[in-house]
Amino acid sequence: MNSKTYKYIIAFSILALLIVTGLLLIRNPAETENIPVNKNQSVIEDYRNSGDRYPGNSSQVIKEAGMVPVYGNWRTFTTKDGLPSDKAYTVRIDGDRVLVGTHDGMAVYENEKWKTYTTKDGLAHNGVVSVDVDELTGDVWIATLGGLNRWSGGKFETFNQLNSGMPNDLVYNVFCYGAHIWVATGGGAGHYDTRTRQWEIFTEMNAPMHEPWTYALSAGDGKVWIAAWGGGVIEYNTETSQFRDYVDPDGFMEIDLQPDDGVIHDITTATAYSDSILWVSTYFGMSRYDGKNWKGYFDHDSGLASNFINFIRAEGKVVFVCCDNGLSSTDGTTWVTYKKDDDSENGKAIITYGTEKKEIPLSPSISHNFIIGVDACGDFLWAATSKGVCRGELIK
Amino acid sequence: MKRYLKLSITAVLILAVVALIYPPYSRWARDHVNKITATTDHPVRCGSCHLYLQKPGFISKLVNAEYHSPFNLAVSEDGRSLYVVAEESNKLLVVDRESRKITHEIGVGVRPHSIVIDRGGKTAYVSNQWSDNVSVVDLASFHVKEALKTGNGPAGIGLSKDEQSLFVVNSFSSDISVIDLKTSSERKRLTAGNNPTGLQSSPDRSMVYITSRRTLSKPFDDTIRCELTILSDGKQRISARKDIISAYMMENIAFTPSGDLALMPVVRPKNNVPTIQIERGWMMTGGIAVIEMKPEGRIAQLLLDEPNAYYADPFDISVTPDGKTAFVSHAGSDCISVVDIDAVREIMAGSTDELLEQYAHHLGISSRFVIKRIPTGANPKGLAISPDGKELYVAEHLDDRIGIVSTETLEMKERIDLGGPRRTTVNRRGRQLLNNAGGTFQNQYSCFTCHPDGHEDGLVYNMASKDMGRNMTNTQSLRNIGDTPPYKWNGKNQTVYKQDGMRFSTVLTRNEPFSYRDLDALTAYIMTGIPNPPNLLYNPAGELTDAQKRGKMIFERTHDFAGFEIPVSNRCVTCHPAPFFTNLQMVGVGTLAASDDSILFDTPHLNNIFASPPYLHDGRAATLEEIWTIYGKTEEHGAVNDLTKIQLNELIEYLKSLRDPDYEDGSNKTLKAAFGNK
Amino acid sequence: MRISRISITYLFIVFIICLSFTVVGCTKVRSGMLIATEASLSSFTQDGVTDPGRYITGTRIIAFDPGKPAKVRVLTGDFYSAAYPEISYDGKQIIFSAQKKQGDTWQIWEMSLKNLRCRQLTFLRENCTDPAYLPGGKMVFSKLTVNDTVGTAHCLYTGNIDGSDVRQITFSPCDNFATQVLKDGRLLTVSRQLLPQKNNAMLAVMRPDGTKSDMFYMNKGKSIMASDPRESVDGRIIFLETTGNNSPGGFPASVTYNRPLHSRIDLSAGEEEFKSVLPVTSDRYLVSYRKSGSDRFALYEFNAETKTTGRLVFSDPEYDILDVTVAEPYERPKKLPSEVDLQVKTGLLLCQDINFTGYTETREGNAAGRIEVMGVDTTYGVVDVESDGSFQLKVLSDKPFRIRTIDGSGKTINGPGSWLWLRPNERRGCIGCHEDPELVPVNRVSLAVKKPPVIIPVHITTIKEKTVELE
């Protein structure tokens, strides 16, 4: 064998090694993440035989959920408990009290009692779809289908498109950011400077929007992200007053042709920013943006309850996702999804970790699978559903 | 040389007099005066206009003077010093209580309003209403250490319980600045009532009460509601907002030392009632609101007036350390009402809610709790009581004096002269008249009552024109109106002389008309002495924001956004040209109500328009937006229907930026001082 | 030359001194002297109707120095009767009522206190009495008035001090006497309703143009005596009350100007033997008083603090002192403007709520829904009120009327109240019916002001007249 032959052997060996590695990678990507394969381990049997609230080795399962908390012992509140309506649109925890927006007014849960506020008390409209609390002043800002309210010191003050610079009376979302109150409305997004009492409005006329219809917004680190219907996500830099838009590179196609190439769809329903991560929900799945890369999540390749997402809220590393078929929460890797059984008040929490799925039966479970609002604080997770609001306790 | 000068001046004067006596000239003078005053009865007095109506300049300097005008005051913990806030001279005056002499004069910001002193008496904080800041005064060296930035129009001021935070009531932007004294920066801004002014901590320092002056109600045909805002000292959040019904102009508040009651002067207007008589309290009444501090405590209002005697414009209230007596200064009646607080407690304890409601309308109730009325100097404002409770100090605002009342004998025992000019200029006399209810039948109200600070009270009055319930009118501001005749919404008074002459006494004061001398003084003050505050909120330096610039283009546009020419009569700038943004003409803008006579309206000036809600002649528009979103659909009040909401907002931002032309001149003293103190 | 200069100077000084003496000597009634009306009441009888005790024949006006009461100067020696003098603001004139000769009607006269020259101010057919000066060179007085509107009553009239432009200002079937002008410019008069029945006299107040007429003070148990009520320096109104017996005297009492209805002080110590009272200082008065029915009314000092009569100042064995005043200048009352426009034939009356009689009253039971506006001997019509109890009437001016509230069945709920009238173009308001007069209106828009007013009498549908815009 001459030197030429050695060279060919070495080159071939390297090529073969590369090909084998590539094939291995393509065949089983999970192995590269060093995740144990699903052995279809079930805890249902142990649970049935135990008198515990949770399955015998559920604590092990919950541990595996890692950063994503698991909530159980769900309690449902409906009109029977004092809610003005079972159609709950939004929920916000404000210290010792919980504010719930419903179809028939705003309900406040405090000291185990519900109190309802309606237009008779000064609410702009009884359809309360979003509530946020200015942590600095303690003022509560209420988005209704007929204007915006500031609820302060027990008094309601109404802002609408006739008496102020508000863009539109269909206020879908309100978000307090510093001294500014941001709203997403049917006539554009806008913000109210509580110090100068000035409004600034953003529509397709002065911002890179497809149309003025905006659904929700969130803010952080000097930026505001507006979920603009058909316009993807509009980023507004509060320092430079400059816009940037994030749209689906695939256009309006309902399938994500090229994975993780950007926001998964232009019809966005909400944004949530926390821990330097921007989460974007659509009716076709959810996206995560870390400032450089986008990642998409769908019900078929993650623990997401459904691709039809109404609203999201991020707390720390975890985002809570309100779907039309359950409530999900994730840190991007591990998923905890809550679903109610159709035929009973019971349900389950499904912990998904890669392809591995584990279930913890919950009795009772969330009140309904159509979730439209969520908020978490301390040991409690509250969800607004089509059948009242429900509260889950952190399983420790 | 001097001798010749004297001679020539005398000669000129003699010639002038002779000329005026000589029939042709005297006839000309008569016609001239009739033309200038728009009346036929005003005596021929050259000085009335040619001296006293002069804008700043040599003659103005000659006939006017700069006074201190003490507004509020405080006493040091040891009781040795009085700290007097001098509103006009922009100073904090330190007065030695023993010698009754001024020991220091400390320059502060513009239009200082209130003062608070820290525990230990090392530092005083003075709010400067026209420079949007608080002067921090070192009371050891008597110099200003720093100026703390606040909201717009800082007035009432107080320290938190731990004295780490400063609460400042922003009277123009209607909010409260919470300032961190460690970082000397504003930590947060809390919304207050409408035009808040007074601030007082409860005796246990757990709560801070903030009063307000303007109503939150709809402009007309609605119950007057004025907010008392309650702030939690610990959480530094608004814990409650209490509506004081049928009352406004709540300037200040005081607590009893035991904390069982809070007492607050109030004015109870009758703007929804036709102005057909003054007798029996049909125009204006005044009293105190009594707030029970216990849980579910009631809020009552007790009138300080009497059936045939009224005590206008109650301003400040102060309670003696023993909690037995309260003193209320009546800025419009030059007196102080002495209130027996135990009698008030008795009334509260022995009265049903229905009875208390009656007392809010009863001119006899004051005889049960008012012990005495103590006469004071002109326009008593701020009050303070010495630590030993023996002396009450009264800021005699328009007399440049501090009155000292013995709380034992309830007599004015002494006055401290603050050293301002002793002569009362014509302009000063006019200001005293405007602030005094003496010109009104039974002293029921002063010009100030409906024109607080020379501005307007935000109410719409039923002036009982032909029949009753017709021609409702929104009170108009008196600020810098000298160059914008005619007056009244229907423009029927071409001059202030006419406005405040016989018609004024027949319809409004229902009392003997002002003497010509007083009418001249009042006119001189209204025409030259009531400036607009600088527009520090929307246009501090004369540089418009981008939105305001775009709004200006809309305001001045000649073509709509479709490219069609806008008729000249329907362009904003046609009727509202600079510098006063009025063409002084009568015009119709499609806002006549069924209850209005068919008239044109005097085009209002627009400077500082942001500060004068509600809008339109009958105040139907609660905000500038409503002028067009609700009441401008016919396009008769400017072409706006092609504007997007963004463009309408920009137009309104521009309107809010309009400021007094006096401030356009960079050399304006007030503005310079305002920025100098930032 | 030098001598002549001195003598000229001397002569000049003498001349000046003489001149001043002459001037002073010419002043018949000097400042500080007391001026009184005196009459012999023992010979006096009244017929009660046209003469309610104010036309006492044989009265005369005298002046004397309180320091030298013996020296009395009769000022009206050439009058058959003269009474009720009032001093002008400059203290140089008096105005009084008098009969020049027996059988003459009583007219108003003015006399200069410097030279006692008199001039007749009124030349009217009926008796005029109780004059008082008004600011602006005007006067007010009572005049017997007989017509369909008031029946027979003494109404108040004003006119220029030269007797011109005399106009009636009260239009109700009430006697008004002893009118004084308050410092606030309003008239204070002793008023007594005559129809439909005679009531006790009260103190009424009104503006000099007859507008805003209102009750100032009344005492249900007693009647106010037709004697000048006087305003003291410390803001009290001092007057005489009577129990209505045949005694010509009364009890002195006082109320505060600020709150007349609840500040009465009885100064009499039980004696009904006072004929007039004049406050000199806050606690020192001059009173016309007699110790018993057999004595003459004489002038005494009176201490308001101790309520006791003191030193006798002046007495006349032949005469009773009817009233007294001091010849000195005093502060002119305010000259009030007038809203009256004689080209207008109506006035407006607004009531906030006819069922409101005071907060402590409840509206349970039968609330009134209508009012009847009643004239002296006719009804002007029945008017439905608004749902909030308010009404607004446009009433023919200078016509007396009373109002009663009635329920659906026509039953009277309240009233009829006292007589009202509106001057041309006058606008008046009340908050309820028989309510506490110390209550002020509630700050609300009454439904009645949102509509045109109801014309009274109701049979009149339209009134063509000049409309006056006040604002």
Minimum CA–CA partner of A193 in chain B: B189
The Cα B136–Cα A13 span in angstroms is 82
- Tell me the pLDDT tens digit for each residue of B132-164: 999 999 999 999 999 999 999 999 999 999 999
- Tell me the pLDDT tens digit for each residue of A213-271: 999 999 999 999 999 988 999 999 999 999 999 999 887 666 777 889 899 999 999 99
Contact call for B625 and A162, based on CB within 8 A: yes
Query: Comparing A129-138, B128-137, B370-379, C461-470, which segment has the lowest mean pLDDT?
Result: C461-470
The residue-averaged pLDDT of C368-377 equals: 94
Specify whether the CB–CB gap between A338 and A66 falls below 8 A: no
**What percent of chain C is modeled with pLDDT above 70?**
92
From chain B residues 76-105, the ones with a CB under 8 A of any chain A CB are none
Type of residue at C30:
R
Please determine, for residue A358, whether its predicted confidence score (pLDDT) is greater than 60. yes
What pLDDT shows up at residue C3?
A: 55
| B and C touching (3 or more beta-carbon pairs closer than 8 Å) | yes
Question: Tokens 């159709």 correspond to what residue?
Answer: A342
| Residue to test with chain C: of B220, B279, B311, most C Cβ within 10 A | B279
Contact call for C184 and B367, based on CB within 8 A: no
**Cβ-based contacts of A199 with chain B (< 8 Å):** 649
Which pLDDT band, with edges at 50, 70 and 90, does C44 fall under?
A: low
Specify whether the CB–CB gap between B44 and B30 falls below 8 A: yes
From chain B residues 423-482, the ones with a CB under 8 A of any chain C CB are 441-442, 462-469, 471, 473
Of B537, B547, B623, which is closest to A164 when you measure between CB atoms?
A: B623
From chain B residues 625-644, the ones with a CB under 8 A of any chain A CB are 625-626, 629-630, 644
- Tell me the pLDDT tens digit for each residue of B202-250: 999 999 999 999 999 776 788 999 999 999 999 999 999 999 999 999 9
**Cβ-based contacts of B499 with chain C (< 8 Å):** none
What pLDDT shows up at residue C464?
A: 73
Of B191, B235, B646, which is closest to A201 when you measure between CB atoms?
A: B646
| A and B touching (3 or more beta-carbon pairs closer than 8 Å) | yes
What pLDDT shows up at residue C79?
A: 97
The Cα C207–Cα C218 span in angstroms is 19
Query: Comparing B379-383, B638-642, C53-57, C199-203, which segment has the lowest mean pLDDT?
Result: C53-57
What pLDDT shows up at residue A252?
A: 61
- Tell me the pLDDT tens digit for each residue of B568-616: 999 999 999 999 999 999 999 999 998 898 889 999 999 999 999 999 9
The Cα A57–Cα C192 span in angstroms is 103
Query: Comparing B379-388, C17-26, C337-346, which segment has the lowest mean pLDDT?
Result: C17-26
Contact call for C348 and B281, based on CB within 8 A: no
Specify whether the CB–CB gap between A140 and A99 falls below 8 A: yes
Who contacts B594 (Cβ-Cβ below 8 Å, separation ≥6)? none
**Cβ-based contacts of C439 with chain B (< 8 Å):** 280, 358, 361-363
Question: Tokens 């009969």 correspond to what residue?
Answer: C99
Of C439, C453, C471, which is closest to B465 when you measure between CB atoms?
A: C471
Please determine, for residue A32, whether its predicted confidence score (pLDDT) is greater than 50. no
- Tell me the pLDDT tens digit for each residue of C167-197: 999 999 999 999 999 999 999 999 999 999 9
Query: Comparing A46-60, A69-83, A144-158, A306-320, which segment has the lowest mean pLDDT?
Result: A46-60
Which pLDDT band, with edges at 50, 70 and 90, does A72 fall under?
A: very high
Contact call for B189 and A201, based on CB within 8 A: no
φ, ψ (nearest 5 deg) of residue C216: -95, -45
What pLDDT shows up at residue C19?
A: 62
The Cα C223–Cα C244 span in angstroms is 7
**Cβ-based contacts of A167 with chain B (< 8 Å):** 645
Who contacts B504 (Cβ-Cβ below 8 Å, separation ≥6)? B513, B514
Residue (of C231, C232, C226, C267) closest to C249 by Cα position: C226
Please determine, for residue C22, whether its predicted confidence score (pLDDT) is greater than 80. no
What pLDDT shows up at residue A48?
A: 39
Across the strands, what pairs with C300? C287, C312
Of A155, A164, A205, which is closest to B625 when you measure between CB atoms?
A: A164
Q: And the tokens for A59?
A: 């604590």
Q: What mean pLDDT, rounded, does chain C reach?
A: 90
The Cα C180–Cα C131 span in angstroms is 9
Which pLDDT band, with edges at 50, 70 and 90, does B296 fall under?
A: very high
Which pLDDT band, with edges at 50, 70 and 90, does C466 fall under?
A: low
What distance in Å separates residue B391's CA from the closest CA in chain C? 26
Contact call for A162 and B629, based on CB within 8 A: yes
Type of residue at C35:
I
**Cβ-based contacts of B243 with chain A (< 8 Å):** 155
- Any C CB within 8 A of B587 CB: no
What pLDDT shows up at residue B381?
A: 98
Minimum CA–CA partner of B221 in chain C: C445
Please determine, for residue B565, whether its predicted confidence score (pLDDT) is greater than 80. yes
Please determine, for residue A42, whether its predicted confidence score (pLDDT) is greater than 50. no
What pLDDT shows up at residue B444?
A: 98
- Tell me the pLDDT tens digit for each residue of C255-268: 999 999 999 999 98
What distance in Å separates residue A165's CA from the closest CA in chain B? 6
Contact call for B538 and A139, based on CB within 8 A: no
What distance in Å separates residue B627's CA from the closest CA in chain A? 9
The Cα A324–Cα A306 span in angstroms is 7
The residue-averaged pLDDT of A347-370 equals: 93
Contact call for A162 and B626, based on CB within 8 A: yes
Counting one residue from chain B and one from chain C, the pairs whose CB atoms sit within 8 A come to 160
What distance in Å separates residue A196's CA from the closest CA in chain B? 7
Contact call for B507 and C428, based on CB within 8 A: no
**What percent of chain B is modeled with pLDDT above 90?**
87
The Cα B165–Cα B182 span in angstroms is 8
- Tell me the pLDDT tens digit for each residue of B244-261: 999 999 999 999 999 999
The Cα C261–Cα C253 span in angstroms is 12
Please determine, for residue C6, whether its predicted confidence score (pLDDT) is greater than 90. no
The Cα B559–Cα B566 span in angstroms is 5
Minimum CA–CA partner of C262 in chain B: B364
What pLDDT shows up at residue C271?
A: 83
Query: Comparing A46-50, A352-356, B454-458, C425-429, which segment has the lowest mean pLDDT?
Result: A46-50
Question: Where in B222-363 does DSSP place strands (E)?
Answer: 225-232, 238-245, 254-255, 261-269, 284-292, 299-303, 314-319, 325-330, 335-340
Contact call for B363 and C185, based on CB within 8 A: no
Contact call for C450 and B469, based on CB within 8 A: yes
The residue-averaged pLDDT of B309-322 equals: 98
The domain locations on chain A are: 3-394
From chain B residues 54-93, the ones with a CB under 8 A of any chain C CB are none
Question: What does each C-alpha distance from C440 to A93, B362, B458, B561 come to in angstroms?
Answer: 49, 6, 22, 55
The Cα A162–Cα B652 span in angstroms is 13
Query: In CATH, what number does A3-394 get?
Result: 2.130.10.10
Contact call for B308 and C445, based on CB within 8 A: no
**Which of helix, strand or coil describes residue B584?**
coil
Chains in touch with A (≥3 Cβ pairs < 8 A): B
Type of residue at B181:
L
Interface of A with B (CB under 8 A): 136-139, 150, 152-155, 157, 161-165, 167-168, 179, 187-188, 194-201, 203, 205-206
Chains in touch with B (≥3 Cβ pairs < 8 A): A, C
Question: Where in B61-131 does DSSP place strands (E)?
Answer: 70-75, 81-86, 91-96, 101-107, 112-117, 123-128
Contact call for B220 and C445, based on CB within 8 A: yes
- Any C CB within 8 A of B516 CB: no
Type of residue at C195:
L
Minimum CA–CA partner of B174 in chain A: A195
Please determine, for residue C470, whether its predicted confidence score (pLDDT) is greater than 70. no
Who contacts A301 (Cβ-Cβ below 8 Å, separation ≥6)? none
- Tell me the pLDDT tens digit for each residue of B511-546: 999 999 999 999 999 999 999 999 999 999 999 999
Contact call for B238 and A205, based on CB within 8 A: no
Contact call for A164 and B173, based on CB within 8 A: no
The Cα B30–Cα B42 span in angstroms is 9
Residue (of C438, C62, B187, C445) closest to A178 by Cα position: B187
- Tell me the pLDDT tens digit for each residue of B378-417: 999 999 999 999 999 999 999 999 999 999 999 999 999 9
- Any C CB within 8 A of B375 CB: no
Which pLDDT band, with edges at 50, 70 and 90, does B80 fall under?
A: very high
What distance in Å separates residue B185's CA from the closest CA in chain A? 15
Q: And the tokens for C402?
A: 């009373």
- Any C CB within 8 A of B512 CB: yes
The Cα B68–Cα B66 span in angstroms is 7
The residue-averaged pLDDT of C20-31 equals: 67
Residue (of C277, C259, C260) closest to C268 by Cα position: C277
- Any C CB within 8 A of B386 CB: no
**Cβ-based contacts of B469 with chain C (< 8 Å):** 392, 445, 449-451
From chain B residues 122-181, the ones with a CB under 8 A of any chain A CB are 151, 173, 175
φ, ψ (nearest 5 deg) of residue A269: -110, -25
Q: What number is the ipTM of this complex?
A: 0.90
Of A137, A150, A199, which is closest to B237 when you measure between CB atoms?
A: A137
